[in-house]
């Protein structure tokens, strides 16, 4: 009897052990894996609103705030190919910031949270150097963009930027080399300016699209135009229609004079562009990608921007420059308070000079909030509504009855003072009337009279 009892106890213990092992081997139901974000495709460049590449202004904090407030994709500032080749890649173990360091400071910084949405822009005039530069950073970005539009001397003097517009063979060879060298998950795109001639622009666009790019951004100004000149966005519709007619599914992105999310519909209605890219408006307010951009930025943006920048160890000079560009409508902030903060910023020589305005340097909390916002509302799902259909106006033809309706009186015939009806017939007076031979190349010879 005792033996049977002991046997039963041992059997129960064995069963409990098996159950315990089963429970420990199974994953915790509360732990869920983060959804894997697929690599970019040409469709990701459509119906989006993007942050433009901006030297000095397109820093990591600016890009993250743009993503937080609705930017679909973000472009990094242009980096010259040779410069990045000599940089040292360093990862901050605390913040996770990835820095490509030069001799004195970081030339380019990024963070894994922005990788699915980050396009790295290269300034290059050499296919081999462009490929080397792209391979240097491709582990940290989702796309490579070739700058073919910067008109500044630092870019054009070496044949880069807008100088490529007049050297289409070199331009296309760089794009072809990039597409051939990059893996499929890395997109290749280009950003150009309009040429003075629309015909020449279309010829260039055709060659660029045939290199295998995923998207083409067109800054709707020519090389000699500046930001103060109105962007010629009306020229873009023909380019969009031309690219769509090529049947490659390439997105055409408009750049120039878009003020934000609420203005993007106007731009798309005029241009037919698949997406819109914003530069100056985003430089003034990185939240312009939202239908409700931030107001009173002295309270809602600047302190947060400074906290994040210090947490990331962003260069103070760049931080100060970017912050000084911020502008927005004032609702609750008094003008005197706004002026006081601007004065404090101008006088500050480091982050410490802004202690009174920032109060608490909780940069980690600012970053965590950005991460939560991006994970809760993935930027690539933040899409513009489809552009309104183009309504082609046709000549209205009145349904005039063949017979005069009853009760209608015949109009009086025109008097001698009535205007003449248009006459498009060209009447050539005979030589007998003019006294000159019609073929004589002298003034008055062969007079043609056009009556209007």
Catalytic residues: 150
Pairing between β-strand 88-91 and β-strand 98-101 as defined by DSSP bridges: antiparallel
* CB distance 313 to 93 below 8 Å: no
Q: What backbone torsions phi and psi does residue 361 show, to the nearest 5 degrees?
A: -90, 70
d(CA 426, CA 126) in angstroms, rounded, equals 58
CB hemisphere CA count around 288 (13 angstroms): 26
* CB distance 380 to 322 below 8 Å: no
**How many CB atoms are located within 10 Å of the residue 291 CB?**
9
Strands (E) in 136-255, as ranges, are 143-148, 187-194, 215-222, 251-255
Question: Three-state SS string across 43-108, please?
Answer: HHHCCCEEECCCCCCCCHHHHHHHHHCCCCEEECCCEEHHHHHCCEEEECCCCCCEEEECCCCEEE
d(CA 150, CA 210) in angstroms, rounded, equals 22
* CB distance 55 to 77 below 8 Å: yes
* CB distance 99 to 106 below 8 Å: yes
- Max CA-CA distance within the chain? 147
The length of the chain is 452
d(CA 357, CA 339) in angstroms, rounded, equals 12
């Amino acid at each position: 009897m005792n033996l049977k009892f002991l046997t039963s106890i041992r059997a129960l213990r064995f069963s409990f052990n098996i159950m315990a092992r089963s429970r420990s081997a199974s994953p915790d139901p509360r732990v869920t894996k983060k959804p894997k974000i697929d690599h970019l495709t040409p469709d990701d460049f459509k119906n989006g609103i993007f942050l433009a590449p901006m030297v000095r202004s397109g820093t990591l904090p600016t890009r993250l705030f743009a993503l937080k407030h609705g930017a679909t994709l973000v472009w990094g500032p242009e980096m010259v190919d040779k410069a990045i080749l000599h940089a040292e890649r360093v990862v901050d173990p605390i913040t996770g910031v990835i820095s490509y360091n030069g001799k004195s400071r970081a030339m380019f910084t990024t963070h894994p949270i922005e990788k699915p949405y980050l396009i790295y822009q290269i300034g290059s005039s050499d296919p081999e150097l462009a490929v080397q530069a792209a391979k240097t950073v491709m582990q940290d970005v989702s796309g490579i963009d070739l700058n073919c539009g910067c008109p500044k001397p630092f870019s054009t003097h070496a044949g880069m930027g807008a100088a490529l517009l007049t050297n289409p063979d070199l331009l296309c060879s760089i794009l072809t080399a990039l597409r051939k060298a990059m893996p499929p998950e890395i997109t290749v795109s280009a950003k150009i300016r309009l040429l003075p001639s629309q015909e020449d622009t279309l010829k260039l666009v055709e060659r660029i699209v045939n290199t295998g790019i995923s998207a083409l951004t067109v800054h709707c100004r020519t090389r000699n135009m500046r930001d103060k000149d109105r962007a010629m966005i009306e020229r873009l519709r023909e380019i969009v229609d031309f690219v769509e007619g090529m049947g490659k599914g390439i997105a055409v992105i408009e750049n120039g004079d878009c003020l934000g999310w609420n203005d993007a519909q106007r731009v798309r209605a005029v241009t037919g562009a698949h997406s819109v890219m914003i530069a100056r408006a985003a430089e003034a307010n990185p939240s312009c990608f939202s239908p409700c951009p931030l107001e009173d930025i002295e309270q809602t943006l600047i302190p947060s921007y400074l906290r994040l920048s210090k947490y990331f160890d962003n260069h103070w000079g760049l931080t100060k420059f970017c912050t000084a560009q911020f502008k927005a409508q004032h609702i609750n902030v008094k003008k005197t308070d706004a002026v006081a903060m601007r004065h404090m910023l101008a006088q500050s020589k480091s982050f410490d000079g802004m202690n009174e305005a920032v109060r608490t340097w909780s940069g980690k909390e600012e970053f965590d909030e950005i991460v939560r916002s991006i994970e809760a509302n993935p930027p690539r799902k933040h899409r513009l509504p489809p552009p309104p259909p183009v309504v082609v106006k046709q000549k209205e033809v009145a349904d005039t009855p063949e017979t005069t309706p009853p009760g209608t009186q015949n109009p009086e015939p025109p008097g001698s003072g009535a205007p003449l009806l248009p006459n498009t017939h060209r009447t050539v007076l005979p030589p007998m009337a003019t006294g000159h031979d019609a073929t004589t190349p002298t003034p008055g010879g062969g007079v043609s009279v056009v009556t209007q």
